[in-house]
């Protein structure tokens, strides 16, 4: 059993006997491994074993000696395996620094010339041309450092205060029995999250888009939106569909390319549709899928609570908006 005692010599952070150092600073992990005196490191390890044999927890030892838990676990494990505490650490005390401006310059030069090279190929190229051995892991880290930092994507938050101001529309495919692909179109109100139309078709053209939109207007008692949000799919940007919206006096807003979150409400609807409904059913015919979609629309509007809307159903939100307006 090792007794927990402080070393007789007073070491500074550089390992020189100049002035007494507090115990907290004396046994800091970085000081121990920067200290060139092997007796100092040995005393530190003996203190770990001594405190452990006294019944202290690993976290308490780490707190008392001001080092990480992983260091405590390492030396306790080595002690149990029979290794001597005076053994030199397995990790080298002094490593050649490879992440330098020189190496970054070499990597940047190779990346510019061969942008399709990976970290292993670049490391081989540096060793081949310049005789510098460098790990592909280090190369990968430096490749991340020299790359241009992309601005974080921030989703736009559009708060809608009244129903039928903005509708969202989108399409998703669904494969049913015998490999047949059906296309599900959805129209949703941005304010209340009501599903105004949810239909499936065998085709995916502007004809199906217009039919679904008219179905949504009929289900909404003839009320039309001011703005319709869609993505840039061919069926949504066709001249026939644009002319239809112009006749109905509906402004068509197409989201920016590569930014699906701008139409995120209906995208989230499709995830709910598949996760909570479609994945639990096996559809043998288009008619069965169509009936199931209508059942889902009624369930979602009247029973499905939406976390974002304070756990209210879409119809509850709609009734609150109507009472507030009146």
Rounded to an integer, the average pLDDT of 120-144 is 88
Q: Which residues are CB-neighbours of 30 under 8 A, at least 6 positions away?
A: none
What is the C-alpha separation between 162 and 152, in angstroms, rounded?
31
Query: Percent of the chain scored above 70 by pLDDT?
Result: 79
Residue among 277, 173, 278, 318 nearest 235 (CA): 173
The pLDDT, as a whole number, for residue 49 is 87
- Positive or negative: CA dihedral 84, 85, 91, 92: negative
Q: How confident is the model at residue 245 (pLDDT cuts 50, 70, 90)?
A: very high
The answer to whether residue 84 scores a pLDDT higher than 70 is no
The pLDDT, as a whole number, for residue 217 is 95
Q: Are 18 and 12 in contact (CB under 8 A)?
A: yes
Q: How confident is the model at residue 168 (pLDDT cuts 50, 70, 90)?
A: very high
Looking at residue 114, what DSSP letter applies? -
Long-range contact set of residues 308-313: C-beta below 8 Å, sequence gap at least 24: 309/193
The pLDDT, as a whole number, for residue 36 is 46
0.85 cut: is pTM over it? Answer: no
The answer to whether residue 100 scores a pLDDT higher than 80 is no
Q: What is the pLDDT of residues 4-61, one digit of tens each?
A: 444 444 433 333 343 444 444 544 545 544 444 566 677 888 888 889 889 899 988 9
Q: Are 134 and 103 in contact (CB under 8 A)?
A: yes
What is the C-alpha separation between 323 and 293, in angstroms, rounded?
29
Reading the block at residue 214, the tokens are: 């008219």
Instruction: Decide: helix, strand or coil at residue 282.
Output: coil
Instruction: Decide: helix, strand or coil at residue 306.
Output: strand
What is the C-alpha separation between 145 and 149, in angstroms, rounded?
9
The pLDDT, as a whole number, for residue 253 is 92
What is the C-alpha separation between 291 and 287, in angstroms, rounded?
6
Looking at residue 312, what DSSP letter applies? B
Q: How confident is the model at residue 259 (pLDDT cuts 50, 70, 90)?
A: confident
Distance of CA 32 to the CA centre of its chain: 38
What is the C-alpha separation between 201 and 212, in angstroms, rounded?
10
Beta-carbon neighbour count of residue 181 at 10 Å?
A: 10
Average per-residue pLDDT in the chain? 82
What is the C-alpha separation between 55 and 64, in angstroms, rounded?
13
The answer to whether residue 104 scores a pLDDT higher than 60 is yes
The answer to whether residue 69 scores a pLDDT higher than 60 is yes
The pLDDT, as a whole number, for residue 17 is 40
Beta-carbon neighbour count of residue 35 at 10 Å?
A: 19
Q: What is the CA radius of gyration of the chain?
A: 33
The answer to whether residue 97 scores a pLDDT higher than 80 is no
What is the C-alpha separation between 103 and 99, in angstroms, rounded?
6
The answer to whether residue 188 scores a pLDDT higher than 70 is yes
Beta-carbon neighbour count of residue 17 at 10 Å?
A: 11
Instruction: Tell which wins on pLDDT, 125 or 91.
Output: 125
Instruction: Decide: helix, strand or coil at residue 85.
Output: coil
Instruction: Tell which wins on pLDDT, 75 or 197.
Output: 197
Instruction: Tell which wins on pLDDT, 131 or 269.
Output: 269
Q: Are 210 and 240 in contact (CB under 8 A)?
A: yes
Reading the block at residue 6, the tokens are: 């402080």
Q: What is the pLDDT of residues 283-305, one digit of tens each?
A: 888 999 999 999 999 999 999 99
Residue among 258, 260, 289 nearest 184 (CA): 289
What is the C-alpha separation between 118 and 311, in angstroms, rounded?
48
Supply φ then ψ for residue 199, to 5 degrees. -130, 155
What is the C-alpha separation between 316 and 169, in angstroms, rounded?
22
The pLDDT, as a whole number, for residue 88 is 56
């Amino acid at each position: 059993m090792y007794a927990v005692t402080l070393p007789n010599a007073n070491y500074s952070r550089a390992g020189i006997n100049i002035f007494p150092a507090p115990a907290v600073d004396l046994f800091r992990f970085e000081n121990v491994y920067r200290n060139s005196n092997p007796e100092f490191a040995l005393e530190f390890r003996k203190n770990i074993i001594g405190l452990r044999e006294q019944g202290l927890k690993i976290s308490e030892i780490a707190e008392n000696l001001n080092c990480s838990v992983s260091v405590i676990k390492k030396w306790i494990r080595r002690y149990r395996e029979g290794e001597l505490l005076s053994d030199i650490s397995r990790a080298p005390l002094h490593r050649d620094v490879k992440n330098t401006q020189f190496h970054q310059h070499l990597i940047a030069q190779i990346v510019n010339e061969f942008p399709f090279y990976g970290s292993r190929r670049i490391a081989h190229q540096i060793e081949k041309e310049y005789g510098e051995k460098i790990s592909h892991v280090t190369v990968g880290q430096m490749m991340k450092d020299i790359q241009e930092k992309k601005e974080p994507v921030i989703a736009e938050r559009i708060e809608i205060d009244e129903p039928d101001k903005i509708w969202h529309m989108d399409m998703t495919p669904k494969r049913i029995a015998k490999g047949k692909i059906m296309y599900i179109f959805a129209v949703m109100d941005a304010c209340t999250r009501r599903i105004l139309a949810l239909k499936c078709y065998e085709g995916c053209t502007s004809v199906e888009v217009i039919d679904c939109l008219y179905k949504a207007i009929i289900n909404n008692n003839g009320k039309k939106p001011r703005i319709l949000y869609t993505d840039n799919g061919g069926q949504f940007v066709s001249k026939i569909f644009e002319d239809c919206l112009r006749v109905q006096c509906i402004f068509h807003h197409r989201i920016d390319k590569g930014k699906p979150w701008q139409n995120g409400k209906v995208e989230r609807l499709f995830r709910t549709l598949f996760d909570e409904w479609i994945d639990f059913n096996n559809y043998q015919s288009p008619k069965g899928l169509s009936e199931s979609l209508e059942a889902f629309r009624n369930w979602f509007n009247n029973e499905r609570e939406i976390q974002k809307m304070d756990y209210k159903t879409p119809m509850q939100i709609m009734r609150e908006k109507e009472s507030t307006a009146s």
